[in-house]
A and B are shown apart, each in its own frame.
Chain A
Amino acid sequence: MIRDITLGQYYPGNSWVHKLDPRLKIIATLLYIVALFVVHDFIGFAIAFLALAVVIAISRVPLKFILKGLKPVFIIIVFTLMVNLFMVKGDILVQFWIFHITRQGLRMAAFMGIRLVLLIIGSSVLTLTTRPIGLTDGIEALLSPFKKIGVPAHELAMMMTIALRFIPTLLEETDKIIKAQQARGADFESGNILRRAKALIPILVPLFISAFRIAQDLAMAMEARCYGSGIKRTRMNAMKFAKRDLVGGILLVAFLAIIVLERVLI
């Protein structure tokens, strides 16, 4: 069911990871992703994997929930694996028809696969343990130094808040529209690509109209709640850098140091 998608969703909890400052978590996630590309051997990936496993364990988000986040991007992962497996040149291991699998290709595919999976799980840990509003507040805070050069930090953050809020609503809406058009005899499963693409019009047009309607209603509702008044906004959950964030920061630096040392020394 379309509703079961967990990517980008928050898993309410009270763990140490949940309580960390969103700013720290965002930076940590970004650096973790960088680390995944610094790493170039299996020992490095093992360290990265271990670090992530520890964070997940502390966060107490059920593993099942985290793995579900991989489902929608499964095709992308398979595609990446295939490309790397067949396209990389080197010592040929197996060959059939026009395809050949090389040792280098195999290694590359494995690396890219692990990298992608860790990357997705890593970023879903961020969204799963951070309240959407914390996430957007964090991004806003991190971007605010760039306001001077014209980066609309607050607007970007607001857009993300709204997107997070309305993704489930629009998915539900899509589900409804698909069923309604099926009830009118629409067929989305047969025919060639062109036909199938054409069959999407009866879904996409109502969906866009719904999105516009939501946007209009929401803009009105926000204005009614004084949004745009120019008063300086406050926050109910103002971000405060606490002791645990210091601990988190130190652990992050330690992790990065190990990754870099591993790359340089081994």
Chain B
Amino acid sequence: MNYFEAKNLVFDYVKSDENGLVTTNRALDGLNFVIEKGKFTAIIGQNGSGKSTLAKNMNALLVPTEGTMLVDGMDTCDAENTWKVRQRVAMVFQNPDNQIVSAIVEDDVAFGPETLGIDPDEIRVRVDEALMGVEMIDYKKKAPHLLSGGQKQRIAIAGAVAMQPECIVFDEPTAMLDPKGRQEVLKVIGQLNAKGITTVLITHFMEEAALADKIIVLDGGRIQMEGTPVEVFRRADELKALSLGVPPAVELGLELKERGIDAPDDIMTIDEMVDYLCQ
């Protein structure tokens, strides 16, 4: 079942300067794609490729200039749907600091359910469950500014989970984290997807994209490639032309090919590569 469906999606940033001169900057240029319910989709691309703009179009923080974006069948352009969409599609942003509203961890996690008008007892249950899910329950009374980046980001995820969304869009959630924080956050993302939450991960780490069911490669506001990680990373030359890399195991496969050793091109992870080479 299609959860997201973009039809000829166009988004323009319109800016007018002090002289009243209007400039339009096309960030998304006619996108067509579908994302299925429950799937894990990665979106990769350079700065300015339009990936963050796309993320914001997925929960009606921005609405298309032209074309349509359907979320669970609802058109985001219809103002009636705005809040229904945001309730279903939660979002986690890049900067862990700038998305936590409250000075106490559990109060922040409660913020979403509170705005949705949920019953206080129910909120309590949801908050505790969400914090347990991200392994942050021991920190529920702490002040967020005393936590590490990875911990803050997990609080932000708990805040999204407590709204009981059907989908979570992660907009470069690991970009500002150290390797440990990245691992923690990725683990949580994987667990949420396994529980059936439709997951969209915007990232510039190819190893992260390799974990997805499907990858969408954006460049200049257009979809350049789309497919499973195997299908996308097979086209390493094109990725390099877009200044994107490939995961290390794929890179080794390519280097071996140059030296006349043919490794199968569906090897994505270091584990798979080691198994193949040592068989």
CB distance from B278 to the nearest CB of A (A): 46
CB distance from A225 to the nearest CB of B (A): 4
Instruction: Give B22-66 as 1s and 0s: 1 = Cβ < 8 Å from A's Cβ atoms.
Output: 000000000000000000000000000000000010010100000
In chain A, positions 203-239 with a C-beta closer than 8 Å to chain B are: 213-214, 217-218, 220-227, 229-238
Which interface residue of B82, B106, B115, B117 has the most chain A CB atoms within 10 A?
B115
| Chain B residues, CB < 8 A from A168 | 143, 145
| Chain A residues, CB < 8 A from B124 | 236
Q: Is the CB of A229 within 8 A of B83?
A: yes
Question: A133 at interface (Cβ–Cβ under 8 A)?
Answer: yes
Q: Is the CB of B111 within 8 A of A225?
A: yes
Question: B116 at interface (Cβ–Cβ under 8 A)?
Answer: yes
In chain A, positions 165-181 with a C-beta closer than 8 Å to chain B are: 165, 168-169, 172
Question: B228 at interface (Cβ–Cβ under 8 A)?
Answer: no
Question: B201 at interface (Cβ–Cβ under 8 A)?
Answer: no
| Chain B residues, CB < 8 A from A131 | 104, 107
Q: How far is the CA of A214 from the CA of B94 in the complex (A)?
A: 12
Q: Is the CB of B61 within 8 A of A223?
A: yes
Q: Is the CB of B145 within 8 A of A169?
A: yes
Query: Provided the pairs A165-B103, A233-B117 are in contact, do residues A226 and B86 lie with their beta carbons within 8 angstroms?
Result: yes
| Chain B residues, CB < 8 A from A10 | 103-104, 143
Q: How far is the CA of A222 from the CA of B111 in the complex (A)?
A: 9
Q: Is the CB of B86 within 8 A of A223?
A: yes
Q: Is the CB of B119 within 8 A of A234?
A: yes
| Chain A residues, CB < 8 A from B143 | 10, 168
Contact partner of B99 among A161, A218, A233, A236, CB < 8 A?
A218
Q: Is the CB of A225 within 8 A of B103?
A: no
Q: Is the CB of A225 within 8 A of B120?
A: no
Query: Provided the pairs A172-B145, A225-B90 are in contact, do residues A236 and B127 lie with their beta carbons within 8 angstroms?
Result: yes
| Chain A residues, CB < 8 A from B119 | 234
Question: B98 at interface (Cβ–Cβ under 8 A)?
Answer: yes
Residue of B with least CB distance to A162 = B101
Contact partner of A214 among B98, B106, B160, B163, CB < 8 A?
B98
Instruction: Give B90-120 as 1s and 0s: 1 = Cβ < 8 Å from A's Cβ atoms.
Output: 1101010111111110110011111111111
Question: B187 at interface (Cβ–Cβ under 8 A)?
Answer: no
Question: B229 at interface (Cβ–Cβ under 8 A)?
Answer: no
Question: A164 at interface (Cβ–Cβ under 8 A)?
Answer: yes
| Chain B residues, CB < 8 A from A236 | 106-107, 110, 113-114, 120, 123-124, 127
Question: B141 at interface (Cβ–Cβ under 8 A)?
Answer: yes
Which interface residue of A133, A226, A231, A234 has the most chain B CB atoms within 10 A?
A226
Q: Is the CB of A169 within 8 A of B120?
A: no
Q: Is the CB of B101 within 8 A of A226?
A: no
| Chain A residues, CB < 8 A from B116 | 226, 229, 231
Residue of A with least CB distance to B82 = A229
Q: How far is the CA of A189 from the CA of B115 in the complex (A)?
A: 48
Q: Kindly count the residue-residue contacts between A and B in the assembled complex, taking CB atoms under 8 Å apart.
A: 113
Q: Is the interface on chain B under 10, 10 to 19, 20 to 34, or 35 or more residues?
A: 35 or more
| Chain B residues, CB < 8 A from A113 | none
Q: Is the CB of B111 within 8 A of A164?
A: no
Question: B151 at interface (Cβ–Cβ under 8 A)?
Answer: no
Query: Provided the pairs A169-B145, A226-B163 are in contact, do residues A161 and B120 lie with their beta carbons within 8 angstroms?
Result: no
Q: Is the CB of A225 within 8 A of B102?
A: no
Q: Is the CB of B115 within 8 A of A226?
A: yes
Q: Is the CB of A213 within 8 A of B98?
A: yes
Residue of A with least CB distance to B146 = A168
| Chain A residues, CB < 8 A from B120 | 234-238
Q: Is the CB of A234 within 8 A of B117?
A: yes
CB distance from B44 to the nearest CB of A (A): 22
Q: How far is the CA of A186 from the CA of B144 in the complex (A)?
A: 32
Residue of B with least CB distance to A133 = B107
| Chain B residues, CB < 8 A from A237 | 107, 120
Q: Is the CB of A233 within 8 A of B115?
A: yes
| Chain B residues, CB < 8 A from A224 | 59, 61, 86, 90-91, 93
In chain A, positions 115-149 with a C-beta closer than 8 Å to chain B are: 131-133
Residues of B within 8 A of A (CB): 56, 59, 61, 82-83, 86-87, 90-91, 93, 95, 97-104, 106-107, 110-120, 123-124, 127, 141, 143-145, 156, 159-160, 163
Residue pairs across A and B with Cβ atoms less than 8 A apart, 7 shown, are A161-B102, A165-B102, A220-B56, A221-B101, A225-B111, A226-B116, A227-B115
Residues of A within 8 A of B (CB): 10, 12, 131-133, 161-162, 164-165, 168-169, 172, 213-214, 217-218, 220-227, 229-238
